[in-house]
Structure 1
Amino acid sequence: MIIDSHAHLVAPPAINAAWTQMESAGVYNGRTRGQVPDAALIESADRQIALMDEVGTDVQLTSPRPYIMKHSYKPGQLVEWWVANHNDAIAVQANARPDRIRGVAGLPQQDGAPVSVVFDELDRAINDLGFVGVLLNPDPGEGNGRSPLMEDEYWFPLYEKLEEMDVPALLHCAGCTVRENYSEHFITEESLAITSLLRSDVFDRFPGLKIIVPHGGGSIPYQLGRWVAHEGKFKGMDPASAREAYVGRLRKLWFDTCLYTPEALNLLIGVVGADRVLFGTERPGSGYGLEDVKPMLEGLGLEEGALQAIFEKNARTVYTRLA
């Protein structure tokens, strides 16, 4: 079986009309849930499944498209409604095609608000809608420079809840309102999140916390030498010991294969191990014709057990609700 752990909502453009109404009328318009009929959402799901069939994918874990989640928008009530609309749309598709689509929930994170504002939607998505995981944006300020690092105690109530519920988090930025585009912002924030987490005691405090870093882990596996050198310099370790220590902590995270070149895939697996990598394509998304990752992986000369771990086993280990 092939489980694609990184996919985003395929929906008719009409879903965005709900935002236009909410932005125009503010909190007085309500949560325009009914803008897109269920039949249209299911038709979109079938288009998504046709794309899966073209490349041999059996199941996709579908989440909202992150860059339109509006986490920095005010007032926060609109963010809550907007994210809930997208989670509801995914739930319609997952309920209609449960053997092909499973939900990963957006969280209504809000710039400047306590992280606990997401708890009600987290509970609803997992317990009522049957989702298997969540998206976690390390920068709800969307580039304004005010978001706390992932090592900050700001995040601890959410980490505690995710660990308690055994809910994995796909660490994925939303939009960006400053000089870089959202793809540049994704890679930058993923890299910053990893370095922040690895220098902290987060995984000592929350040993059951499961975080997946998409897009191959930002820049970190490919700049490993710099971080190993940093480790050795400041901890007085020889290069071999520093590498072992750093990679050991890096393997507390999970990674996905949204990289789109065999060279990058080979390097990622060589650094973190096939047992920490989940198959992901983001199809349809930013890969733009490079999203057929399966033959790239098959061409790397990996053992069959490693391939099966990447294609299915690791996803089932992380996303226990898939069962």
Structure 2
Amino acid sequence: MEYTQLGRTGLKVSRLVLGTMNFGPQTDEADSHAIMDAALDAGVNFIDTANVYGWGENKGRTESIIGNWLAKGGDRRDKVVLATKVYGNMGPDGPAWPNHDRLSALNIRRGVEASLKRLQTDHIDLYQFHHIDRNTPFEEIWQAVDVLVQQGKVLYAGSSNFPGYKIAQANEIAARRGGTIGLVSEQCLYNLAERRAEMEVIPAAQEYGLGVIPWSPLHGGLLGGALRKEREGGGSRSTSGRSADSLKDSALREQVQRYEDAVDKAGLQPGDVALAWLLGRPGVTGPIVGPRTREQLDSAVRAVDLRLPAELLAELDEIFPGPGPSPEAFAW
């Protein structure tokens, strides 16, 4: 496994991030623990989750599964960089109560305490804001984070799904306040088929020293051999959700077919190529992989050692051209 610094910090993380969104809803606790053990054995030390994972009446379930795994001991907690998120509503079932979601100082404090309890740990290495909160000023957010850092409950703060201007705003206000490091990472939707992050999000992250953590690196399975699996009658992710909806677009379907043909010609696997492409992109710390099985994890780990030939990279840019950085992407 390769390691890199998380943004401008001294923290070393694996080039693959183990995503856990499937733990609970699709993968039971025993299999989830087996996947985390296998990831650790492979050198993956970066585990990402969120307080809302488990969803609906089971929200928080994923953190609990991770917490039970950490409680098994064997230096599991000391070996991993643990990241979770706050924003989604974690209030009791029934009519929504105020102050159980978003990024008020009250909800950040409440969210941290609840996550620590479910995760069975005394600190969160990377605490991420799952979405922007237009109603809470960053002065309040950073005040809450500063207290948590002083208490030793949070080490670093990161963002997720932030536009470039919010990354800049957050870190400029952090710099003016002093005493806080500001955002150190941004978790965004980024893959071969969805490259809009290249316009402003990734340049902003690079300018402010944030590590970029792409989510959905296979675009919901679209880049994992979706058409091949469709022909073979397999791959549930290829026949539902974002992947299936995307394939209804004839132009995108043609792009995906060209992609799979190019990958086949190179003698490679589509999912491996999609991950390897991201690993070679400027500013990317590591993509989030969300395996539901041990086999899917093994496939993702292979991609770390894959170096794509220049001719294939050029062909991928022709098939999935990015928008280019702004303002050139939309101005002269």
TM superposition score category, shorter chain reference: 0.3 to 0.5
Question: Which one has a larger percent helix, Structure 1 or Structure 2?
Answer: 1
TM-score, with normalisation over the residues of structure 2? 0.43
TM-score, with normalisation over the residues of structure 1? 0.44
